[in-house]
Structure 1
Amino acid sequence: MSLLARERATFADRHPGSRAAYQRSDHLFGRVPMTWMNKAAGDFPIHLDRARGNRIVDVDGNEFVDFALGDTGAMAGHSPAPVVAAVTERVQRGLATMMPTEDAAVAGAELARRFGLPAWSFALTATDANRWAIRLLRAVTGRSKILVNSYCYHGSVDESLIVAGPDGRGVSREGNVGAPVDVTLTSRVAEFNDLDGLERELAHGDVAAVLMEPALTNIGIVLPEEGYLAGVRELTRRFGTYLINDETHTFSAGPGGATAFWGLEPDVLTIGKAIGGGVPVGAYGLSAELADALSGRGDLDLVDMGGVGGTLAGNPVSMAATRATLQEVLTDDAFATMIETATAFADGIQKIIEGYGLPWSVSRLGARVEYRFASPAPRNGTESAAGANAVLEDFLHLYLANRGVLLTPFHNMALMCPETSLADVARHHEIFDAALKELT
């Protein structure tokens, strides 16, 4: 605790401008634009001045190598030039018109090429994409429940805030704010990597869709075991349940996300954040069969008040940003470089951990890496949550931040963008090694 107190004092000394800005924010709930921004290892969050590539400069002039990258929102890097150019050109010609643009069709075609689903629709966030996909699948199946994995993350989707209790039965996730109904009325839950548990829950016959990440990410990276994802697909088909792959974070696996990397066949795919290069956007893709089934339902109001849509969804700026990001920034070549850099990051961290004889582990999903305070790495969300250590995590985050390196504030996750260099990786490793030397 003395090391943590020292790092907190250093953090306060290095960020007087951020502290003052935080203290002045009397009219912001929680003193931040969104309350999750208070998830910070220091006593206040760092306030941004500017960002470019994988560098951030705060209001005090401190520069950071950024491995957080907006928790995936800036996986393309901060303010990538092609996106800035496309958005700058677009904002001069109309922002919110409720009309389609050519950019949307091009972006949809590129998403179809990458992920294999032919019909796409756009939202402003992946949360919205998930909500709308859930409504569509409840409508087409006539079933009421959605199944998720324990400690999953799908934004603020009400149905996803369920975890497996000690007896394996679903209970509301601790801290769930203002649930409209008991979550067990809307949802079922199974542990990741547990096909028996999934089969047991699907056998009730009331699950419209399984909503899942191909690998858990927001509770820490939990990778699928051999045969697990194929088993999920077989079980969902056997029980007449649709499968939604949420690729918002697992997009790091490659140009076509985990779906292309592992050869998956979801009925729906949802995604957001990274595809807009930092501009708000979400999207969901439908299989041809599902798109046809929905289009043929005259009783469903898909164009007005049916609960699917949003005035700013598919707006010209988001579509211009998405087209530029997919065509010019997060390309196949860019992913190859990002994954190569992430591999070096993971290998280096593993070597350092082994050098200190720590019972920790390293997990990698394409361009994303995480070090865990457990070995072997957790195999499901409940194990991953149980392995967290808030004090140790805060110390490492502050130690790195005080020396110019940022990790994702929610866990020990590092993401590579096209600009992330091996020198940046080496800088992280040097500081990380020094932190462990002090700890041990």
Structure 2
Amino acid sequence: MSGISDSITESNKPLVKRVNRDLLKKFIASARADYIAARPKCFAAHEITGKSGNATGFLGGVPQHWMLDWSTPFPLQIKSAKGCKVTDIDDNELIDLCLGDTGAMFGHSPEIIASALKDAAENGLTTMLPSQYCAEVGQKLVEIFGLPYWQLALSASDANRFALRVARLATGRQKILVFDGCYHGAVDETTVYLDGRGKTSAKPSLWGSAFDPAINTYCVPFNDKEEIYATLMGEDVACVIMEPALTNCGIVPPKPGFLEFVVETAHKFGTYVLFDETHTLSSGYGGYCRINNLGPDLFVAGKAVAGGVPTAIWGISEDVKQRLDDARAVLPIGHSGIGTTLGGSLLQLSALYGSLNQLVTPETYDKMLATAQILEDELNKIISEFSLDWSVIRIGARMEIIFSKTIPQNAEEMRALFDHELEEALHLGLLNLGFLVTPFHNMLLAGPDLTKENILNYAQSVRQIIGQICD
């Protein structure tokens, strides 16, 4: 692991304070009441959009159903977002430590992206042809992320789908390998987990899949070299698709040497490795792979890469490109199932040109990582002050608190540490005190606009909450 992008810390002091469940319940009830009282317009707007009664509009009152997954009584309705601040329609201003779950990692509405939107509005949004920025963007992708050949998609979900299809075509194999606790968007084959019997199964929450995703997918525990080797030695896996560290089930970092082992073992048995860095772009300039010299065969990143404009990038190595060309040479020209009409649009290329030149820079990452270190230090001070049995796990600018001194090695160990009631209390309490964090795992992301003053105020808010729920 890189000492710059990865940090795992914990308090070694004896536990003297514990969360009092009665106090916790009272705190949540009070926090919910405070949230409701401060947001009458958000409540009214949500009712109108279809949440209750005979109202019609959005399903559940929100444009994406998972927007109801927050622990709030009803969703925030956002009026504006700029830098590291968001303002709801009741004019409550929040310091944003969620940043659209990485979608706005470089801040909300950066000036360069606003300029790119203006450029696209004046010169065309989509034409199904490359734009004036095509050559520069392509060269920048090679320079920053290393791989020699690139394509664009609308989301990381699409990019992962396309990259997996390429891996299958290039290898002539059907199976893929994923890790328990992984997240690769809406790619059907990756929506699996290890059930209580250690069997690869569809996630219980999966809606209406056309097929059992476990048919073509092996799922193994993260950080388990033996399982990796045993699975790949069958030589039927086209591609290992993985995040360098698990992020969606809570941050689970790789053990030293694990990622290198995966790449080496995969190549030994003729399998490609696809690193999905959509969430680990927070690691540093060029992502986790560049920092740690991992050399992926395929690479995917979405969300933040174009400053929040719906865009994803996927790249392939020279070897993948050659085998892809060989496979395509015997196929008829026509619909490949890879690519979409709006992918690679003038709008995307304009936003990418601005983002890769002015946002995705070493200077931006230096600022973010320095700020993240301050944030991590403040959290560790709190853990020490209250002698809590908690830890901080950080990957670059992204971090979260876990409720244990022991750092989990895989998704099963992480799931055992979940405390949804405690997460809800922290989330709601911080919202009422002016800070937005993710509703799951209380993930924090230090964007380039976050100040030391913001961090110190956040730390005092955390202290205030802990003081009310612990005895």
Match of 2:66, as an amino acid?
Answer: W
- Which residue does 1:143 correspond to in 2? 173
Secondary structure at the counterpart of residue 123 of structure 2: coil
Whether 2:122 is the aligned partner of 1:92: answer yes
Report the alpha carbon displacement of residue 333 of structure 1 after superposing the two structures with TM: 0.5
Provide the rounded CA distance (Å) in 2 between the counterparts of 1:279 and 1:387.
35
Provide the rounded CA distance (Å) in 2 between the counterparts of 1:243 and 1:362.
29
Provide the rounded CA distance (Å) in 2 between the counterparts of 1:345 and 1:174.
35
- Which residue does 1:202 correspond to in 2? 232
Report the alpha carbon displacement of residue 428 of structure 1 after superposing the two structures with TM: 1.1
Whether 2:42 is the aligned partner of 1:18: answer yes
> What are the Cα deviations for residues 296-348 of structure 1, in whole angstroms up to 9, with x where unaligned?
322346x7411101000011111111111111123101100100100111111
Whether 2:35 is the aligned partner of 1:4: answer no
- Which residue does 2:273 correspond to in 1? 243
Report the alpha carbon displacement of residue 174 of structure 1 after superposing the two structures with TM: 2.0
| Aligned 8 A contact 1:248 1:272 in 2 | yes
Q: Where in structure 2 are the equivalents of 1:394-433 lying within 5 Å?
A: 394-433=424-463
Secondary structure at the counterpart of residue 102 of structure 1: coil
Match of 1:289, as an amino acid?
Answer: D
- Which residue does 1:287 correspond to in 2? 317
> What are the Cα deviations for residues 93-121 of structure 1, in whole angstroms up to 9, with x where unaligned?
11121110132332222121112101000
Q: Where in structure 2 are the equivalents of 1:21-100 lying within 5 Å?
A: 21-26=45-50, 27-100=57-130
Provide the rounded CA distance (Å) in 2 between the counterparts of 1:262 and 1:368.
17
Provide the rounded CA distance (Å) in 2 between the counterparts of 1:25 and 1:304.
43
Match of 1:299, as an amino acid?
Answer: V
Percentage of pairs with the same residue: 38
Secondary structure at the counterpart of residue 251 of structure 1: helix
Match of 2:195, as an amino acid?
Answer: G
Provide the rounded CA distance (Å) in 1 between the counterparts of 2:224 and 2:453.
40
Whether 2:330 is the aligned partner of 1:299: answer yes
Q: With CA pairs under 8 Å and 6+ residues apart, which has the higher RCO, 1 or 2? A: 2
| Aligned 8 A contact 2:180 2:219 in 1 | yes
Provide the rounded CA distance (Å) in 2 between the counterparts of 1:254 and 1:428.
24
Provide the rounded CA distance (Å) in 2 between the counterparts of 1:60 and 1:300.
58
Provide the rounded CA distance (Å) in 1 between the counterparts of 2:330 and 2:132.
30
Provide the rounded CA distance (Å) in 1 between the counterparts of 2:351 and 2:177.
33
Match of 2:108, as an amino acid?
Answer: H
| Aligned 8 A contact 1:123 1:129 in 2 | yes
Bigger mean CA deviation after superposition, 52-61 or 83-92: 83-92
Q: Where in structure 2 are the equivalents of 1:274-423 lying within 5 Å?
A: 274-296=304-326, 297-300=328-331, 304-423=334-453
| Aligned 8 A contact 2:423 2:439 in 1 | no
Runs of at least 5 residues in structure 2 that lack an aligned partner in the other structure:
1-24, 51-56
Provide the rounded CA distance (Å) in 2 between the counterparts of 1:180 and 1:98.
30
Report the alpha carbon displacement of residue 412 of structure 1 after superposing the two structures with TM: 1.1
Provide the rounded CA distance (Å) in 2 between the counterparts of 1:172 and 1:90.
41
- Which residue does 2:248 correspond to in 1? 218
Aligned-residue Cα RMSD (Å) equals 1.2
> What are the Cα deviations for residues 402-432 of structure 1, in whole angstroms up to 9, with x where unaligned?
0100012232111111111111111111101
> What are the Cα deviations for residues 169-188 of structure 1, in whole angstroms up to 9, with x where unaligned?
21222211112212220210
1:255 to 280, 285, 290: 285
| Aligned 8 A contact 2:119 2:350 in 1 | no
Task: Report the CA distance shift for 1:304/1:402 in structure 2 as closer, same or farther (over 3 A).
Answer: farther
TM-score (norm. length: structure 2): 0.91
Bigger mean CA deviation after superposition, 397-406 or 81-90: 81-90
Provide the rounded CA distance (Å) in 2 between the counterparts of 1:108 and 1:250.
21
Report the alpha carbon displacement of residue 63 of structure 1 after superposing the two structures with TM: 0.2
Match of 2:29, as an amino acid?
Answer: A
Secondary structure at the counterpart of residue 152 of structure 2: strand
Count residues in correspondence: 439
Provide the rounded CA distance (Å) in 2 between the counterparts of 1:300 and 1:64.
54
Provide the rounded CA distance (Å) in 2 between the counterparts of 1:231 and 1:308.
30
